[in-house]
């Protein structure tokens, strides 16, 4: 099973970077850095494409969770794309609020994927010995 979410360091770094940007809303390049962070999140989400279904096939009892996470990723991607469209135009306070909402959703998705991977690999498949 070759999945892009091994170790969790890349997606954690992406989400942490967005958190830092949301906390430090200063500087002339803030919006540009937010845009870069959002594009990095989009890249990570795109890399996850198909992971949920693959895990659902590997552990059929987890199909419901896999489908739910697929829908969650789709909604997260839509929200992210809408935010990318307005990152230079929306008021700073609104951008910050939207960024925090996106961060919360990304954390929930990441947590769900971690649980799905654990359940599929450790419980259903048996893990490494």
Domain boundaries, the chain: 9-125
> For the chain, percent helix, then strand, then coil, each to nearest 5?
80, 0, 20
For residue 92, give every residue at least 6 positions away whose Cβ sits within 8 Å of its Cβ, in sequence order, or none.
25, 30, 31
pLDDT band at 4 (very low <50, low <70, confident <90, very high): very low
Q: Computed over its alpha carbons, how large is the radius of gyration of the chain?
A: 16
Mean pLDDT over all residues of the chain?
Answer: 85
Average pLDDT, integer, range 106-128: 80
Give alpha helix (H) positions in 1-129.
9-23, 30-47, 51-58, 63-86, 92-118
pTM over 0.75: yes
Average pLDDT, integer, range 40-56: 85
pLDDT for position 119: 82
pLDDT band at 25 (very low <50, low <70, confident <90, very high): confident
What angle is formed at CA 119 by the lines to CA 116 and CA 122, rounded to 5 degrees? 130
Q: In the structure encoding, which two tokens stand for residue 18, read together?
A: 């967005």
pLDDT band at 17 (very low <50, low <70, confident <90, very high): very high
């Amino acid at each position: 099973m070759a999945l892009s979410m091994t170790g969790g360091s890349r997606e954690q770094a992406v989400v942490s970077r967005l958190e830092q940007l949301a906390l430090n809303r200063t500087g002339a390049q803030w919006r540009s850095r937010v845009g870069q962070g959002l594009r990095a999140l989009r890249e990570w989400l795109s890399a996850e494409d198909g992971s949920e279904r693959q895990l659902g096939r590997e552990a059929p009892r987890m199909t419901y969770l896999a489908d739910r996470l697929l829908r969650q990723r789709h909604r997260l991607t839509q929200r992210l794309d809408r935010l990318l469209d307005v990152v230079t135009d929306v008021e700073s306070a609104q951008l910050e609020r939207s960024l925090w909402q996106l961060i919360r959703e990304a954390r929930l998705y990441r947590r769900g994927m971690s649980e799905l991977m654990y359940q599929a690999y450790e419980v259903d498949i048996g893990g490494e010995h």
